[in-house]
Chains A and B, each alone.
Chain A
Amino acid sequence: MGKYVYFALALAMLLVAPMFIKSRVIIDLLILCNIYAIFLSSWDLVGGYTGQISFGHSLFIGGGAYTAGLLNYYFQVPPYVTIPLGGIVAAALALLIGVFALRVKGAYLALVTFAAAAVPVTLTAIFWEYSGGDDGLSGISPLSVDVVTRYYLSAALLVLCGGILIFITRSSYGLVLLSIRDNETASMAVGIDVRKYKVITFVISGFLAGIAGAFYCHNQLHVGPAELKPAFSVLVVLMAVAGGMGTIIGPMLSGYFLIFLNDWLRFSENYKMMIYTGVIVIILLVCPRGLYPAIASGIKRVVHK
């Protein structure tokens, strides 16, 4: 019961935000928050629920972004076609990599996914004439020229993707994923096809990340190697873990919090990245399970008083 109240509240806030916020800059930031919320929570499906720590999320985000960018730049394919296609290409990449990488676990999986994610960024350098190299491609068509419309599109995408993630994780399927995270051997022993579940989950995660990546490309009107670089994967993992692994909601909130933090830190120029990662480290030291579990248990304590 209580849970639904919070969901309704979050939905309402998402809905009314642009009515109260008149600053274009802030609304633009909120759009970014919505996109990052999908980046991070889609990672959490694999990282937090099946316990497979992947450093390959940049591949799916960047894969989706480049799919959209290239199709739109060279063939003028409209966003409502490139966005789902971005998801499909990312899902195909996830399938390809997942089938091989998910044979290994733990640090090995982290390394294999990281190495795999380093490949396409090299391709953008090799085929710089088409990809624009380090500069990427500019002049991608916008989703809408109106910032409020763009905001509502991003919010709708978040509700859709977030809804899918929340639904999956709270279903029987999510229970099976958690059993794999807790004890893979025991899952096999009760008859779960662990490999199959891992790969399917990886593909779903990649699909959602790819969609968000393609959306991001049309929002920035640009696609470049920044989102495709393995370093971006590291950032995704850091941000998601700071939010609270295995919660979906945590990484979403973390997206909001850290995007705003990142923006506030603009004044600090050269020290920005240092302070930013410093804050994440402090979060993880103070509440190792992440922000959301810490806040949630705090609220529970106050409410039950």
Chain B
Amino acid sequence: MATGVLEIRGLTKYFGGLRAIDDVNVSISKGELVGVIGPNGAGKTTFFNLITGFVVPDGGEVLVNGVDVAGWSPHRVVQEGVSRTFQITRMFSSLKVIENVIVALLARKGMGILSSSRAHVEEASAILERVGLHDKIGLLAGSLGQGDQRKLELARATATKPNVLLIDEPFSGLSLKEVEVLIPLIQKLNKEGLNIVIIEHKLRELMRLAKRVLVLNFGRLIADGTPEEITNDEEVVEAYLGKERGNFGAP
């Protein structure tokens, strides 16, 4: 019986002869903020793509509140309550910041062809205010800096009212200052009840956020535990950092 908000069982994907994701089993419980790490090519983004329907799995189940969404098309997975952001930000560049969020609201609420998008302005503004973009709602999304684009992606993803949010490398390409803005924002979203899974290369930052970390290597889940457990796991240290034991900067 499924207990987690997101329950992944035996998830498998082959690319040709390569096992990109190999029999992964994970359960995300209510209120969790889980990190995903692993060397380049370990299958982290593929893992997200499989959950969100951008890639169709070859086997396994993706249970969202007990409903198996494996192989569903992306928009249906979103409607089931799983939203995501991208490693490389994907803006609606020629649309205004607020319109980026309105599109997400329209997708969720449906629309009459007669309806004007103005009806959603208030709600979209409120969402943008939460991520700290309220003074930029009239700008074109394409003109935003990298840090603001990350915030907008988060705003857009939360506008779909997800139950689970998958964040793919939120800190890549950001300055330290921008990272320091984003960390409390992600923590706030989690405290407000959003279940979050984050892929991140910047381990020091990730360890500050996540109380539980999954480690992927060659498509297999090789470890699942607290940051302390992970940093002391020999297989992880070997896979991720080489033979020498490195400094994860765990708390």
Q: Does A185 contact B (CB under 8 A)?
A: yes
> Measured between alpha carbons, how far is A229 from B9 in the docked complex, in Å?
54
Q: Does A97 make an interface contact (CB < 8 A)?
A: no
Would B117 and A175 count as touching, CB distance under 8 A? yes
A164 to B52, CA, bound (A): 36
Q: Which residue from B91, B102, B159 sits with its C-beta under 8 Å from A175?
A: B102
CB distance from B241 to the nearest CB of A (A): 32
The residue on A at minimum CB distance from B120 is A172
In the complex, are the beta carbons of A171 and B78 less than 8 A apart?
Answer: no
**Interface digits, B83-104 against A, CB 8 Å rule (1 contact, 0 not)?**
1111000111111000110111
Binary flags per residue of A155-185, CB closer than 8 Å to B gives 1, else 0:
0000000000000100111011011011101
Taking CB as reference atom, which chain B residue is nearest A168?
B113
Number of B interface residues, CB 8 Å?
Answer: 35
CB atoms of A192 and B75 under 8 A apart: yes
User: Which residues does chain B contribute within 8 Å of A179, judged by CB atoms?
Assistant: 92, 95, 100, 103
| Chain A residues with CB under 8 A of B115 | 171-172
Is A194 a contact of B95 with CB atoms below 8 Å?
no
Q: Is B174's CB within 8 Å of the partner chain A? A: no
Q: Which residue of B lies closest to A183 (CB)?
A: B90
Task: Say yes or no for B116: interface residue by CB 8 A criterion.
Answer: yes
Decide yes or no whether B217 CB sits under 8 A from chain A. Answer: no
Q: In the assembly, what is the distance between CA of A183 and CA of B156, in Å?
A: 13
* B78-A189 in contact (CB<8A): yes
- Hey, which chain A residues are within 8 Å of B74, CB to CB? 188-189
Nearest B-chain residue to A170, judged by Cβ? B116
Write out the residue numbers on chain A whose beta carbons fall within 8 Å of the beta carbon of B93. Answer: 182-183
Shortest CB-to-CB span from B113 to chain A, Å, is 5
Given contacts A182-B95, A183-B91, A185-B90, contact A175 B106 (CB under 8 A): yes
Interface members, chain B 146-194 (any A CB < 8 Å): 156-157, 159-160
Contacts of A172 in B (CB 8 A): 102, 106, 111, 113, 115-117
Chain B proximity of A133: nearest CB distance (Å): 42
Scoring A171, A183, A190 by chain B CB atoms within 10 A of each residue's CB, the highest score goes to: A190
User: Is A277 positioned at the interface, with any CB of B under 8 Å from its CB?
Assistant: no
Known A-B contacts A176-B107, A193-B75; A185 and B94 likewise in contact (beta carbons under 8 Å) = no
B116–A189 contact, CB under 8 A? no
A120 to B222, CA, bound (A): 58
B211 sits at the interface (CB 8 A):
no
CB pair A186–B116 under 8 Å, yes or no, is: no
B54 at the interface (CB under 8 A from A): yes
Judge whether A182 and B160 touch: CB under 8 Å. Answer: no
Q: Tell me which of B78, B103, B160 has the highest count of chain A C-beta atoms within 10 A of its own C-beta.
A: B103
Structural contact, B103 and A187, CB atoms closer than 8 A: yes
Q: Given known contacts A171-B116, A191-B75, is B92 in contact with A186 (CB within 8 Å)?
A: yes
Bound-state Cα–Cα, A193 to B73, Å = 9
Within 8 Å of chain A (Cβ to Cβ): is B232? no
> Does B1 lie at the interface of the complex (its beta carbon under 8 Å from any beta carbon of A)?
no
Name the B residues within 8 Å of A176 (CB-CB). Answer: 103, 106-107, 111
Q: Mark B38-67, 1 if CB is under 8 A from A, else 0.
A: 000000000000001010000000000000
| Chain A residues with a Cβ under 8 A of chain B | 168, 171-173, 175-176, 178-179, 181-183, 185-194
Contacts A173-B111, A189-B74 known; list 7 others, CB within 8 Å: A172-B117, A176-B103, A186-B86, A186-B90, A189-B85, A191-B160, A192-B107
Offer 27 A-B interface pairs, CB within 8 angstroms, sorted by A. Answer: A172-B111, A172-B113, A172-B115, A172-B116, A173-B113, A175-B95, A175-B117, A176-B103, A178-B94, A178-B95, A179-B100, A185-B54, A186-B86, A186-B92, A187-B107, A188-B54, A189-B83, A189-B84, A189-B86, A190-B78, A190-B104, A190-B157, A190-B160, A191-B75, A191-B108, A192-B75, A194-B75
10 nearest A-B pairs in the assembled complex, by CB-CB distance:
A191-B107, A191-B78, A186-B90, A190-B104, A188-B74, A182-B92, A179-B103, A172-B111, A179-B92, A172-B117
